[in-house]
Amino acid sequence: MLPPTITKSQLLSNFDTFVFDADGVLWTGDIPIPGAAEWINTLLDDPEKSVFITTNNSTKTLEQYMKKVKKMRFGRLGRENLLSPTIVLCDYFKQNSDKFENQYIYLIGVENLKKSLEEGGGVKCFGTGPDHKDNYTDGDFINEVDVKSKIPKAVVVSFDSHFSYPKLMKAANFLADPLVEFLVCNEDSTFPGPVPGMILPETGPWSAAIQNVSGRKPDIVFGKPHEQLANFLKSRVQAGKFNSERTVMFGDRLDTDMMFGKNNGFTTVWMQTGVNTLLDIELARKNGESTKIPDFTCRFSEF
């Protein structure tokens, strides 16, 4: 059964803070969802409303993200409207600068994330790019993997298509020291698209591998549905203005977006334009996974 529909006027009168997932909600890949840009503009026009776009994707710099948004005619969205694990992680490093400033981070992630963390977080990252068994001699490669000369303050785990055995080994050995923090950008298992029917692994499997070998759980996960992002979002709303009960989360994924909303006391609106389907909602209902079940649905094209 489809969740009940919520109308534009109900949304405008009941909520002050509007949180959106991006891919599958405002656009699909590079194609805008009909009505999404107009709806975002309506909200941005109202000085009483706060608008946030929340993505779990850590593969673009903020500059690249702003370009993408402009290209799709969401040009009035500013940097202050965008939230991602990268931005929250940079803020975390800055808030804890006594520990992290100019310190080493072992980064499982892409070059763009390295650039963002170094510029925005004030840390020095190492480990990005290829690091395969082939880089070491065959017989003794295990003894050659350097897990001793540069000990980082944290291991940061994000999407990395170069992940490898030596990287896993380094992460496990660094994390054997309980003082080295284990920070995970997001735990999505897969990306949505871009090739229909093809499964594309995201950060989740590498995080699972490192948890398995290190015996540790992440100290912080920065993306949806975790609280670090919610706390950051609250801090971005004008002081004294944030109210969970007057906050609404629009998303397509049950396990990130809907859970993020529900875990933080927001009203949730499920969009039918993304990854999850009505069948997934029925399954969540059957399994009693109440935090995945949306309160409402709607279509921006009908606003």
Q: Give the x/- contact pattern for a copy of itself in 182-221, rule: CB under 8 A.
A: -------xx---xx--xxxx--xxxxxxxxxxxx------
C-alpha to C-alpha distances, 45 to 6, 39, 77, 243, 301, nearest whole angstrom: 21, 10, 11, 20, 19
Burial bucket for residue 155 (CB in 10 Å: 0-12, 13-18, 19+): buried
> Of the listed pieces 85-93, 97-105, 172-180, 275-283, which binds a copy of itself according to CB under 8 A?
172-180
Binding-site positions for substrate = 224
Residues pairing with 157 in the sheet: 108, 184
Question: Of 17 and 214, which has the nearer Cβ to a copy of itself?
Answer: 214
- Strands 124-126, 154-157: pairing kind: unpaired
Return contacts of 135-139, CB within 8 angstroms, 24+ apart.
135/166, 136/166
Minimum separation from the CB atom of position 83 to a copy of itself (A): 25
- 185 contacts: CB under 8 Å, gap ≥ 6: 56, 58, 85, 86, 89, 109, 113, 156, 157, 158, 159, 203, 221, 222, 223
Binding flag, residue 41, a copy of itself (CB under 8 A): no
Here the tokens at position 37 are 């840009």
Binding flag, residue 35, a copy of itself (CB under 8 A): no
Known active-site residue 23: yes
Of 101-130, binders to a copy of itself (CB under 8 A) are: 130
C-alpha to C-alpha distances, 175 to 4, 186, 195, nearest whole angstrom: 46, 18, 35
Positive or negative, the CA dihedral 272, 80, 262, 203 is: positive
Binding flag, residue 28, a copy of itself (CB under 8 A): no
Binding-site positions for Mg(2+) = 21, 23, 252
Tell me, by CB under 8 A, how many residues bind a copy of itself: 39
Minimum separation from the CB atom of position 152 to a copy of itself (A): 15
Q: Give the x/- contact pattern for a copy of itself in 238-277, rule: CB under 8 A.
A: ----------------------------------------
Known active-site residue 160: no
Of 42-61, binders to a copy of itself (CB under 8 A) are: none
Which residue numbers are catalytic? Answer: 21, 23
The site for a copy of itself (CB under 8 A) is made up of: 130, 132-134, 141-143, 147, 160-165, 168-169, 172-173, 176, 189-190, 194-195, 198-201, 204-215
